[in-house]
Amino acid sequence: MTPTVAGAEAIREAVRILRAGGLVAFPTETVYGLGARAFNPEAIARIFAVKRRPLDNPLIVHVATDDQLHSVTTDIPPVARKLMAAFWPGPLTLVLRRAPEIPTAVSAGLDTVAVRMPDHPLALRLIHEFGEPVAAPSANRSGRPSPTRVEHVVRELGDAVALVLDGGPCRIGLESTVLDLTADPPRVLRQGAITPQMLRAVVGLVLPFTRTADAESVHSPGLKHRHYAPDLRVVLVSPEDWPQAIASWSRSGQRLGLIARTAAVPAPGRPSFERRFDTTSDFARSLFAAFHDAEAAGVQVLLVEALPREEGLGAAIMDRLERAATAHMEGR
């Protein structure tokens, strides 16, 4: 698979592949997606096979038009309309009632379907020219960090995908917020750039994300699986603990890496792999790319600064970081 700078010819080729039941990787504003024709069960099966994704973890269907939205769901409640008007195209996925035409494999057997309209010119153009909804999980192997750079898609999926459209680095860098609108009140199933406060400003009561067994196993099956785990050990460090963390991990003999906010880290004894970010948005945009780069640099222990959850993308970032740190402890 070679990345293709997405001109008109590349889009035409991508459309040909989707029509034939093949897979195409494409950029969105959140992360790169691995797309297939949503209405083709064999193409959907190919996604699960390539990602080695557990069959009980449903996919998000991407649409570019209102007609396409109507082909995916039987019911668009007024609250959904309000949210679409406020946040689409954008990083908000809505869980709605599934139309019978959507293959059950897309929704992992649930009677609901997750749908979003991505805010990326290439993604929208691809779906427009294809003329049908595109089912697309993140373009990584199951359990790994999502790719936010084209070279990381290639590293994750190799020759398993015929074409990857190159849109450069993704603007947001974390997966979309998932909101269940079949629950009353609506409930956040995955945290992302659209925060509960932003949702409440539009629709009133919204239940924030919780990690109850309920949410993980029933409402969002994807959350019970191992996630965001690079092939290295992720250790969270509170800002005030940096000097001590660097000193003690330096004695471990392992190759260290560091991801921090610019101000926090003292100069002496710094690890050779380092990424520093000024804001939580910069942090979010480059976190998964830093995971991939740290792996490639042979980092064994990656020290990552714990961020305040109240700040912008802080809560969404901390959710990914805690899972990445736990995945290692579970023996990945």
Binding region for ligand TXA (CB under 6 A):
28, 30-31, 33, 57-60, 91, 93, 95, 107, 110, 112-114, 118, 136-138, 175-176, 178, 189-190, 219-223
CB of 303 to ligand TXA, least distance (A): 26
CB of 28 to ligand TXA, least distance (A): 5
113 binds, among ligand TXA, Mg ion, none (CB under 5 to 8 A by kind): ligand TXA
Shorter beta-carbon distance to ligand TXA: residue 22 or 118: 118
110 binds, among ligand TXA, Mg ion, none (CB under 5 to 8 A by kind): ligand TXA
CB of 92 to Mg ion, least distance (A): 16
Task: Based on the shown chain and the rule CB under 5 A, indicate whether residue 177 belongs to the binding site for Mg ion.
Answer: no
Which one of 22-30, 134-142, 280-288, 316-324 is the stretch in contact with Mg ion (CB under 5 A)? 134-142
| Packing angle of the helix pair 8-19, 121-130 (nearest 10 deg) | 50
Shorter beta-carbon distance to ligand TXA: residue 256 or 321: 321
- What are the backbone angles phi and psi of residue 2, rounded to the nearest 5°? -115, 135
CB of 173 to ligand TXA, least distance (A): 10
CB of 135 to ligand TXA, least distance (A): 9
Which one of 103-111, 133-141, 234-242, 301-309 is the stretch in contact with Mg ion (CB under 5 A)? 133-141
- What are the backbone angles phi and psi of residue 96, rounded to the nearest 5°? -130, 180
**Which two structure tokens, joined as six digits, stand for 267?**
């100069």
CB of 276 to ligand TXA, least distance (A): 25
Instruction: Select the residue whose beta carbon is closest to Mg ion and give its number.
Output: 138
What are 193's strand-pairing partners? none
Shorter beta-carbon distance to ligand TXA: residue 59 or 83: 59
134, with CB counted inside 10 A (0-12, 13-18, 19+), is: buried
What percent of the chain is helix, strand and coil (3-state, nearest 5)?
A: 40, 20, 45
CB of 96 to ligand TXA, least distance (A): 8
Q: For residues 226 and 217, is the Cβ–Cβ distance under 8 A?
A: no
Instruction: Select the residue whose beta carbon is closest to ligand TXA and give its number.
Output: 222
Q: What is the rounded CA–CA span in Å between residue 160 and residue 93? A: 26
Q: Count of alpha carbons within 13 Å of 133, Cβ hemisphere only?
A: 29
- What are the backbone angles phi and psi of residue 254, rounded to the nearest 5°? -90, 155
Q: What is the rounded CA–CA span in Å between residue 101 and residue 159? A: 31
Q: Which of 209, 213, 185, 222 is nearest to 110 (CA)?
A: 222
* Dihedral sign of CA atoms 278, 284, 290, 291 in order: positive
Return the residue of 40, 73, 138, 191 that touches Mg ion, per CB under 5 A: 138
Shorter beta-carbon distance to ligand TXA: residue 24 or 301: 24
Which one of 60-68, 109-117, 131-139, 283-291 is the stretch in contact with Mg ion (CB under 5 A)? 131-139
Radius of gyration of the chain (CA): 20
CB of 174 to Mg ion, least distance (A): 11
Q: Which residues contact 156 (CB under 8 A, 6 or more apart)?
A: 139, 140, 141, 144, 147
Continuous segment of H or E residues that includes residue 41 = helix 41-51
Task: Based on the shown chain and the rule CB under 5 A, indicate whether residue 93 belongs to the binding site for Mg ion.
Answer: no
Interface size with Mg ion, residues (CB under 5 A): 1
DSSP, res 316: H
Q: Which of 11, 254, 267 is nearest to 122 (CA)?
A: 11
107 binds, among Mg ion, ligand TXA, none (CB under 5 to 8 A by kind): ligand TXA
Shorter beta-carbon distance to Mg ion: residue 138 or 182: 138
Which residues would be at the binding site for Mg ion (CB under 5 A)?
138
